Amino acid sequence: MQYLGALRDVTKRIIPAPLRQLLRQVAGYRLRGLSSAQYWTRHNVTAHRAFASAKESLYYFNWRNAQYPGYIDLMPVNGGNGKVVLDYGCGPGNDLVGFSTQSQPARLIGADVSPSSLSEARARLDIHGAHSVELVQLDPGDSTLPFDTSSIDLIHSAGVLHHLPHMEYTLREFRRILRDDGYAQIMVYNYDSIWMHLYAGFLYRKRVPWQAKLAKQELFKATTDGEYCPIVNSFRPADFCAIAERAGFDADFRGAAISLNEMSWLPQRFEALKDPALDRDSRDFLADLTFDTRQTPLHRGQVAGINACFRLTPKR
C-alpha cells in the first residue's frame, strides 16, 4: 500500500490536473447513463471486495463503522433479537453481517436491486455460517415491495432512500409491511453537513475548478457515490421527517454521524469563510458552527455530519 500511495503522489506531480480529470472521466465512462440497478451492480460500497475469513469480515465491519463516529449507536444492529428484520438495500451485506453476529433475529432478510451485491453478500454471510439469511432481488421497475402486509418488525435502511426517485412511495410501502408495533431505522444524507457546505460547497470546487460552476448539490453527488450515480439526494432533518409523516409515520431525528473525512476538512473552514465566492447558505452554516468537548462540529445543537439517522414508528 505504501508503494501505491507513492505512485499516486508521483502521478499527481507529473500529470496536470485537467488531464487527470479527463482520465477519470474515461475510466468512469462505462458508468455514465446507467440505470440505478445497473449502476449498483457495477459499483458497490465495498468495491466488490471478497473476504477470506469471518475475522477479516468482522474487522472490516468494525473499521467501516469507525469511519463515522457514533453511527453504530444511531443505527444499531444488536436490537434484532426475536424480530423479523429486513435490511432494505443491503448491498454486499455489511449490515447483514452485523445483525447476524450481534443479534438473533427470528428471520433476517436482505433485499437489493443488484444481483452482484447479493451474490457477494451470500458469500460473505456463508463464511459466518449465516446460511439462513434470506436474500431477495428487488425489481427496480416495481415499486411494490415483495413482502406481506404487517410481516416485518424492524426495517433497517442505511444510505439507500436518498438514491430513490420516489422515496415517499417506498416509505408508504415500509408502513404497509411493518407491524403496528414495529419500527424503521433509516440513514439518509444530511444537507446540514460539513460534507455539503465545506467540501462540496468549497474545497472540491477549489480542487476541480473546471467543475466550479456546477451546483453545490451536483458536486455533493459527485463526491459521495460517484459522478455517474443516477440519483443522490440530501435532506434537512425536518424535511425528511415531513416526508415520513406524510407516508404514515411518526418520525424522530435521532442525530447525525460525522465522517472522519469531514473532521479532517474542518481546519479549512476559515479559508472557506474568507472566500467571497462561498454561497450565503454555506457561509451561514459554517459561521454558525459550535463544538462539543470532543471538538465535533454542531449545527444548531446537532452533529453536522453526513449521515442523518431517523427512527420511524407507524402512526396509530
Please tell me the distance from the alpha carbon of residue 150 to that of residue 147, in angstroms, as a whole number.
Answer: 9
Residue 23's pLDDT is what? Answer: 43
Cβ proximity of 179 and 250 under 8 Å: no
Contacts of 196 (CB under 8 A, 6+ apart): 190, 216, 220, 234, 282, 306
Domain residue ranges in the chain: 36-191+230-259+302-314
DSSP secondary structure letter of residue 190: B
pLDDT single digits (tens) 109-136: 999 999 999 999 999 999 999 999 999 9
Cβ proximity of 244 and 312 under 8 Å: yes
Residue 267's pLDDT is what? Answer: 97
Name the residue with cell 499516486. Answer: 8
Cβ proximity of 302 and 74 under 8 Å: no
How many CA atoms lie less than 13 Å away from 224 in the CB half-sphere?
A: 28
Instruction: Walk along the chain (316 residues) and give the pLDDT tens digit of each residue.
Output: 333 344 344 445 565 655 545 444 444 445 566 887 788 888 888 888 899 999 999 999 999 999 999 999 999 999 999 999 999 999 999 999 999 999 999 999 999 999 999 999 999 999 999 999 999 999 988 889 999 999 999 999 999 999 998 999 999 999 999 999 999 999 999 999 999 999 999 999 999 988 888 899 999 999 999 888 889 999 999 999 999 999 999 999 999 999 999 999 999 999 999 999 999 999 999 999 999 999 999 999 999 999 999 999 999 8
Residue 25's pLDDT is what? Answer: 47
Beta-sheet pairing, 249-257 with 307-314: antiparallel
CATH of domain 36-191+230-259+302-314: 3.40.50.150
* Structure-block grid coordinates of residue 219: 458536486
Choose among 259, 307, 2: nearest CA to 158.
Answer: 307
Contacts of 288 (CB under 8 A, 6+ apart): 299, 300
Residue 16's pLDDT is what? Answer: 64
- Residue 271: phi and psi, rounded to 5, are -60, -40
pLDDT single digits (tens) 213-270: 889 999 999 999 988 888 999 999 999 999 999 999 999 999 999 999 999 999 999 9
Residue 22's pLDDT is what? Answer: 44
- Residue 308, exposed/middle/buried by CB under 10 A (0-12, 13-18, 19+)? buried
Cβ proximity of 234 and 220 under 8 Å: yes
Cβ proximity of 193 and 304 under 8 Å: yes
Query: Where do runs of H (alpha helix) occur along 105-203?
Result: 115-127, 167-177, 194
Strand runs (DSSP E) across 121-245, as ranges? 134-137, 152-158, 178-189
User: How many C-beta atoms lie closer than 10 Å to residue 125's C-beta?
Assistant: 22
Residue 15's pLDDT is what? Answer: 57
Residue 28's pLDDT is what? Answer: 46
How many CA atoms lie less than 13 Å away from 150 in the CB half-sphere?
A: 3
Report if pTM > 0.85.
yes
* Structure-block grid coordinates of residue 202: 468549497
Please tell me the distance from the alpha carbon of residue 111 to that of residue 155, in angstroms, as a whole number.
Answer: 11
Please tell me the distance from the alpha carbon of residue 292 to that of residue 274, in angstroms, as a whole number.
Answer: 24
176-185 per-residue burial string, b: 16 or more CB within 10 A, e: under 16? bbbeeebbbb
